[in-house]
Amino acid sequence: MADTLFPDRQPSGPGILPSQEIRDFVDTGVISSSVTAVGDDQVQPSSIDLRLSGVAYRVQASFLPGRNTTLENKAKSNGMFNSQLDISKPTLLERNVIYIIPLMESLRLPPDVFGIANPKSTTGRLDIFTRLITETGDEFERVRKGYVGRLYIEVMSQSFPIIVQAGMKLNQLRFCRGKLVPTGDSTLRQLDSDDPFTETDPDGGDPGDEPELIHHGVRVTVDLKGNGSDVVAYRAKRNAPPVDLSKINFYEISEFWHTIYRDERLILEPGEFYILASKQRVRVKPQFAVEMLPYDLATQEFRVHYAGFFDPGFGYGAHGEVPGTKAVLEVRASQMPILLEDNQFVGRLHYYKMSEIPQRIYGGIIGSSYQQQGLALSKQFKREPQYISGTIPHVIGSANIDDVSDNPVDDDEDGSTLNLAFPDSGMGQLIHARDPRE
């Protein structure tokens, strides 16, 4: 098998696999589809977008098949697949209802490659909870080494009813080889001194008063000053109309979101979904991919990013021409109200080595939606003028950056650190905010 998987090139080394190797997987049948051929537009810098098939099942509860049976056999034996929807045409998925949808893609992974899934950025910004399920398996969002079989997605939209159709892409899958561990602080400091990982806006405060940027990763804080804008957050409205995911730049923000204005602080309360922005403008160099991890406020988890992953080139471009991009924080609360203040520590970024520099870099050339974002809702909503700090050149991507040099980073056992590197996107304690003036 190893002789035929890569007819034109050798597999790369350990790390997260780049776009060119994912493209090889498509060309050689490691990734395949019996419905419609896998398209070039599905291949991202460090992942592949997965497509909904033409059927969805409304189920009573979330479940895993285990390794001794298939998902469909377990579902049918428990009466879980009795309610079937045809989503070959636009179809409404109700709010807070669980659906399982087979995906068009199937896998035949090499024995040294495993996969990790996560929602796409647009999915997270709409508060749509998704998890990947393999045909046989005992973990969500994970594809074991050498897996052969079909893929499914569990979907529950928590804020809005949504309209979906076959072919839409709600989640993405990354492939990894070898040992993975976050790049160590000493390496991060050295790299940061040569080319900073983040930029802070001019009104971000006195740098001398800032805590250490790099400590167990790169620290991220929340922006409640707005950097010249009065708007610092959005809160999802209850009982809003459905969102058709095929509509781009279509919906009025006021129909779906309460606007929260600058107030230096917010009271965070459970039961609401909020969109906020980071104080820092994040920069991901092409030799890295980045995971955003929550900050635990002692008694509750502070998860700030459903999608949780930044592609190579996010806020950076191919050659450093982009001076950073705000991280959008998708925020949901746990058990009690919490006071959130401007520049409060909310999470940290872990930088992971790519096995090779991707030939496709995050940015406008490949159709990336959020390269120059400020406080940005999902692309279905009409774009209002939002703050974008600094002057960002129009050139924001590159189709081929072979001349960008790689930098070595640390490695570790795959498996032992995966819960830190790629945490479960489970429906545990999250955090939300409410404007205290409402």
What CA–CA distance (Å, rounded) separates 376 from 278? 11
pTM of the model: 0.83
Cα separation, 240 vs 161, in Å, equals 8
Mean pLDDT of all residues in 279-306: 75
* Mean pLDDT of all residues in 147-154: 97
Quick one: CA dihedral 105, 106, 107, 108, positive or negative?
A: negative
8 pLDDT band (50/70/90 cuts)?
A: low
Tell me which residue has tokens 């309360």. 269
The arithmetic mean of pLDDT across residues 16-32, rounded, is 97
**Which comes out higher in pLDDT, residue 296 or 347?**
347
Asked whether residue 36 carries a pLDDT value surpassing 80, the answer given is yes
Q: What distances in angstroms separate CA 317 from CA 42, 285, 324, 353, 392, one per listed residue? A: 19, 8, 9, 17, 10
Query: Strands 198-200, 345-353: parallel, antiparallel or unpaired by DSSP?
Result: unpaired
Q: In the chain, what are the domains? A: 2-177 (2.70.40.10), 185-421 (2.70.40.10)
pLDDT at position 402: 36
Kindly list the distances between the CA atom of residue 61 and the CA atoms of 95, 98, 201, 280, in Å, as whole numbers in the listed order: 14, 7, 45, 39
**φ, ψ of residue 136 in degrees (nearest 5):** -130, 130
The mean pLDDT value for 46-61 works out to 97
Q: What pLDDT, on a 0 to 100 scale, did the predictor assign at position 308?
A: 76
Q: Burial of 89 by CB count in 10 Å (0-12 exposed, 13-18 middle, 19+ buried)?
A: exposed
Q: What is the pLDDT of residues 56-99, one digit of tens each?
A: 999 999 999 999 999 999 998 989 998 999 999 999 999 999 99
pLDDT in tens, 297-348: 444 444 565 657 899 999 999 999 888 999 999 888 777 787 889 998 888 8
Residue 3 has pLDDT above 60, yes or no: no
What pLDDT, on the 0 to 100 scale, is given for residue 368?
56
Closest of 276, 22, 330, 346 to residue 159, by C-alpha: 330
